[in-house]
Amino acid sequence: MTETIHWGILGTGNIAHKFAQGLQALPDAVLLAVGSRAQETADAFGEEFSVPHRHASYEALAADPDIDIIYISTPHSFHYENTLLCLDAGKHVICEKPFAINAVQAGEMISRARAHGLFLMDAVWTRFLPVMVRLREILGSGALGEVRMAQADFGFRAAANPESRLFNPQLGGGALLDVGIYVVQFASMVLGEPPVDITSQVQMGETGVDEQSALVFRYGAGQLAQLSCAIRTTTHHEASVFGTEGRVRLHSPWWRGTTLTFWRSPGVEGGETETLPFAGNGYNYEAAEAMACIRAGKLESSVMPLDETLQLMETLDVIRAQWGLRYPME
């Protein structure tokens, strides 16, 4: 019989609801506890998802002796302190993306997890979906030949609310940290290494955070990644990989998609379209990965390794430095 893993969720916002819904698709997962900054919000979340332990502080959640692992769902600027709190309490952690505000914070989080001998993972849920598993199979098979280019975009038009997490510098706002991490991690997954050169263009908004940007990465063997992200502009929501012998297109919305088309020759008109539906709402796959790693005694995921997470944060730091974007907490 598979060992049941007991989960806690830190935070009660929109993404916490999605993750809780994802856990419902896993028979070997129990959502045992939730932590909020107020008892009424913890109780409301607990009622909605039948969570028995409802804590009125993050500290109380971290100290709950019956929890195995905690999912961090708070705004970007709190990931660092919330993760360290839970690790220091002896809990395994998966932390919502972006993993931290910057690479310094990320490095400390990773070092703390390793010092405690605890599992830690960047919650890039997209990477664990069936369509991404299939893409990695195609890449691993060599069917595309030498991969030469990756493209991805993620942009949407949000209402300009200066106090919201998307636009507020105090909360680590801006398109790059919110949705740019999707396209940057996609390039990393496809090309398998950090870029050697980064070029970017940005439009900054009235609150001092990035509202849209275009990124070009160059890699060691001359490969390129063309990426874009936005929080005031809706884009195609597609991603593609181009090789010397073939290409793949991930259909919109690529980061939570179910369909890809695979051309076995670059110039061929008709490709092979595959549909790979996912169970639950998709967030269950990252949770299942974390649980499999914990049961196997692993301290990190081979699909989303910690060294890569640190490299991703270093890349985001370089981009923000080009724009002169520094957050108040840095």
Report whether pLDDT(176) > 70.
yes
Report whether pLDDT(8) > 80.
yes
Over residues 189-217, the mean pLDDT reads 98
Q: What is the dihedral of CA 237, 12, 181, 178, to 10 degrees?
A: 70
Residue 62 CA to residue 172 CA, distance in Å, equals 24
Q: What pLDDT sits at residue 265? A: 80
Burial (0-12, 13-18, 19+ Cβ within 10 Å), 81:
middle
Q: What is the pLDDT of residues 32-72, one digit of tens each?
A: 999 999 999 999 999 999 999 999 999 999 999 999 999 99
Find out whether 198 and 186 touch, Cβ atoms under 8 Å.
Answer: no
Backbone dihedral region of 261: left (phi > 0), alpha (psi from -120 to 50 degrees) or beta? beta
Q: Does the 5-125+283-299 domain belong in CATH 3.40.50.720?
A: yes
Q: What pLDDT sits at residue 51? A: 98
Q: What is the pLDDT of residues 256-291, one digit of tens each?
A: 999 999 998 877 778 999 999 999 999 999 999 999
Report whether pLDDT(1) > 80.
no
**What percentage of residues in the chain have a pLDDT greater than 90?**
97
Q: What is the pLDDT of residues 137-174, one digit of tens each?
A: 999 999 999 999 999 999 999 999 999 999 999 999 99
Task: Give φ, ψ of 272 to 5 degrees.
Answer: -100, 115
Task: Give φ, ψ of 235 to 5 degrees.
Answer: -115, -175
Over residues 108-130, the mean pLDDT reads 98
Q: What pLDDT sits at residue 256? A: 97
Closest CA to 48 of 73, 78, 23: 23
CATH number, domain 130-277, options 3.40.50.150, 3.40.640.10, 3.30.720.210, 3.30.360.10: 3.30.360.10
- Is the CA virtual torsion 144, 146, 148, 153 positive or negative? positive
Q: What pLDDT sits at residue 269? A: 76
Q: SS3 sequence, 249-289?
A: EECCCHHHCCEEEEECCCCCCCCEEEECCCCCCCHHHHHHH
Residue 121 DSSP SS3: strand
* Type of residue at 242: F
Residue 88 CA to residue 115 CA, distance in Å, equals 10
Cβ-based neighbour number of residue 248 at 10 Å: 25
Report the DSSP beta bridge partners of residue 93: 70, 120
**Which H or E run includes 105?**
helix 103-116
Mean of pLDDT over the chain: 97
Over residues 124-135, the mean pLDDT reads 98
Q: Give residues with Cβ within 8 angstroms of 39, minimum separation 6.
A: 54, 56
Domain ranges of the chain: 5-125+283-299, 130-277
Residue 286 CA to residue 225 CA, distance in Å, equals 25
Q: What is the pLDDT of residues 85-102, one digit of tens each?
A: 999 999 999 999 999 999
Residue 90 CA to residue 65 CA, distance in Å, equals 9
Over residues 113-129, the mean pLDDT reads 98
Report whether pLDDT(116) > 70.
yes
Q: How confident is the model at residue 329 (pLDDT cuts 50, 70, 90)?
A: very high
* Type of residue at 302: S
Q: What pLDDT sits at residue 216? A: 98
